[in-house]
Structure 1
Amino acid sequence: MRDVCVIGGNRYFGKRLIMRLLNSGAHVTVVNRGSSAPPAGSVHLVADRDDEAALAAALGSRTFDVVVDQVCYTPRQAAVARRVFAGRTGRYVMTSTVEVYEHEDSAEPVGEEAVDPRKVAVDLALPWDDAEFRDAHYGEGKRQAEAVFACDPAFPYVAVRVAHVLGGDDDFTGRLDHYAEHIRKGEPIAVPVVNHSATYVYVEEIAAFLEWAAGAEFTGPVNAAAHGRLTTADICAAVADAVGGGAAAEFRAVESGEVSPFSFARSYGMDNSRAERLGFRFGRSTQWLAQAVTETVGARTAGTGEVR
């Protein structure tokens, strides 16, 4: 029986990951701040992962085959985890993001080598504890967190660079709801003058990928994305179908200022070939897009406003 620790994981694809691990027969320990209880069958430890002493105390003498860190956003958090889990785990899987490639702009899919965490400078003195700063530097925080694990490894580590996630009735981001509201009201959707496609992954697929990565033996960064890029128009067409009533998306190109979610002024779609060579098979985004959108925004019966 595998002994797995999940840090965070109390919502969205983290919950699905925990259920997959439990269903596989793993012994699962979930560490979070106690804001919500993890799925039944797991062990719940309450600790703030930013508080090194509290995290170590909560863990006690426990050791794990693998740790899956769902909520590592900064190099400070990575440094704490590196110290606390050194000697406690045989493997560490950090959930990273496509946004580590935020400075890339390539017509070709971007591979993991575009951002080598061993070459990323780490600055622990930056105000990482400030929520506004952290949100504004999301990609940089993830890059530097990866670097902490990569530059002086305390254990074999993996950084799963997750594409934009779609699907599920518990999608808390509000991004698809933004489109649904604009389409229902007939309001134009702001997009860049040159609006690039991007790579995505279905919520169930990324949970499956993280479970697979937890049990594998490879190390280093790996991109997790479905085959096939999607445009804003692709997503809005699926939203319009889910909303029903003959509505259609209207777009307004803007040269500056805020644009809608899932619209991009640069091209940085991810290359998933490393993951495929290692043995994971992704689906195609067009195969699950309609289902993913319907799960999140639902559909309204034409003319009644009734949610189906």
Structure 2
Amino acid sequence: MREVCVIGGSRYFGKRLILRLRDAGVNVTVVNRGSSPPPPGVTHLVADRDDEAALAAALGDRRFDVVIDQVCYTPRQAAIAKRVFGGRTARYVMTSTMEVYDPATFDAVPVHRRPVAEDAVDPGTWPVDLELPWGEEAFRELLGDAWHYAEGKRQAEAVFSRDPAFAFVSVRSAHVLGGGAEEFTGRLEHYVDRVRAGRAVRVHGEEYASTFIHHREIAEFLFWAAGADFTGPVNANSHGELTATELSEAVAAQVGVGRPVFLRKEHGDDVSPFSFDRYYAMDNARATGLGFAFSAVAEWLPGAIAETVGAVGAGVQV
């Protein structure tokens, strides 16, 4: 691949992906709304992806070997991208999420008691409703951020998958950890702050494991997926699983304090990030069979924690 367009990618592992492409000799074009400039050495186009005419105008007559879409959150955005990039690219990689498997956000998704494979959510058969007010804040507030995010991703995958305008891949990423100051969600910082201060970490009375991936590994996975030739959904997660309790204990070992304090909560109560009351792990066998070599969570977790500890210690808001 010589010409790659990245939609979004202005922060976190998206920025690392752009650098990985650029340093591999790829001509990279970044499309965003202009709020953050991309790294040096790439082409920058400013456009709002929700404005179909503006997006098409910004692209002009450019053609790409691959488009990597980091910021597609709704079926409407997918429909616009499908029309605009149809005929402009042969391959389209969308960064999706393991949240598509979350049974708490849609009754049709089964509760899984073993690592879930890609066929649990088939974008080819998933219902799509383009008439819902996806862009309205009141709609998001009514149904909740979790439903809006998970269902938006499910339906976006469905739009791209039906009557495809190009070879399409949806990368269903596990929870991403690490990155220090680049990590903007604050979820790992939550554990560092509480464990170091001796404050209780709120977890479910009976908690279950989930799957994770390092920020460098998901960037590398997207780079690999862009240059491959398979299609369809693919899970991206490191080998191994973690509970919130195990993550807290790893943080305690890293910062040199005693055993963490836990506050066991009932179902429905507020808990710390990554504490789940249902088994919530993905099966990465498809990606492994296609040739991607995942690391193990145990290999990179200490370093990911150290990055966050360093950023917090330096007074950086993460």
Band of TM-score, shorter chain: over 0.9
Query: Using the alignment, how far apart are the partners of 1:257 and 1:231 within structure 2?
Result: 17
Which residue of 2 is the match for residue 120 of structure 1?
126
Quick check: 2:192–2:308 contact (8 Å CA) kept in 1? no
Superposition pairs of residues 212-291 of structure 1, within 5 angstroms: 212-244=224-256, 246-255=257-266, 256-291=268-303
Query: Does the residue aligned with 2:270 lie in a helix, a strand or coil?
Result: coil
The answer to whether residue 165 in structure 2 is matched with residue 154 in structure 1 is: yes
Residue 276 of structure 1: CA displacement?
A: 0.7
TM-score (norm 1): 0.94
Query: Does the residue aligned with 1:292 lie in a helix, a strand or coil?
Result: helix
Change (3 A) 1:131 1:286: farther
Query: Does the residue aligned with 1:119 lie in a helix, a strand or coil?
Result: coil
Q: Which whole-Å deviations, capped at 9, do the CAs of 1:131-155 have from their partners, x for residues lacking one?
A: 4644342111100000000112111
Query: Using the alignment, how far apart are the partners of 1:141 and 1:251 within structure 2?
Result: 34
Query: Using the alignment, how far apart are the partners of 1:306 and 1:9 within structure 2?
Result: 25
Q: Which whole-Å deviations, capped at 9, do the CAs of 1:185-222 have from their partners, x for residues lacking one?
A: 32211112221110000110000000000000000000
Query: Using the alignment, how far apart are the partners of 1:107 and 1:236 within structure 2?
Result: 23
Superposition pairs of residues 1-308 of structure 1, within 5 angstroms: 2-103=2-103, 104-131=110-137, 133-134=139-140, 135-136=145-146, 137-169=148-180, 170-244=182-256, 246-255=257-266, 256-298=268-310
Quick check: 2:203–2:245 contact (8 Å CA) kept in 1? no
Query: Using the alignment, how far apart are the partners of 2:118 and 2:159 within structure 1?
Result: 17
Residue 272 of structure 1: CA displacement?
A: 0.3
Q: Which whole-Å deviations, capped at 9, do the CAs of 1:17-59 have from their partners, x for residues lacking one?
A: 0000001100000000000100100000000111101100100
Residue 306 of structure 1: CA displacement?
A: 7.8
State the identity as a percent.
62
Query: Does the residue aligned with 1:204 lie in a helix, a strand or coil?
Result: helix
TM-score (norm 2): 0.91
Quick check: 2:64–2:90 contact (8 Å CA) kept in 1? yes
After superposing the two structures, state which structure 1 stretch, 62-71 or 191-200, moved more: 191-200
Which residue of 1 is the match for residue 107 of structure 2?
none
Q: Which whole-Å deviations, capped at 9, do the CAs of 1:273-308 have from their partners, x for residues lacking one?
A: 0001111010110111110111123289xxxx788x
Quick check: 1:242–1:298 contact (8 Å CA) kept in 2? no
Change (3 A) 1:219 1:299: closer
Q: Which amino acid aligns with 1:18?
A: I
Structure 2: stretches of 5+ with no match in the other structure = 104-109
Q: How many residues align?
A: 302
Q: Which amino acid aligns with 1:72?
A: C
After superposing the two structures, state which structure 1 stretch, 127-136 or 42-51, moved more: 127-136
Q: Which amino acid aligns with 2:302?
A: A
Structure 1: stretches of 5+ with no match in the other structure = none
Change (3 A) 1:132 1:102: farther
Query: Does the residue aligned with 1:252 lie in a helix, a strand or coil?
Result: strand
After superposing the two structures, state which structure 1 stretch, 290-299 or 249-258, moved more: 290-299
Quick check: 1:243–1:298 contact (8 Å CA) kept in 2? no
Q: Which amino acid aligns with 1:248?
A: R
Q: Which whole-Å deviations, capped at 9, do the CAs of 1:100-158 have from their partners, x for residues lacking one?
A: 00014322110000000011100111121024644342111100000000112111100
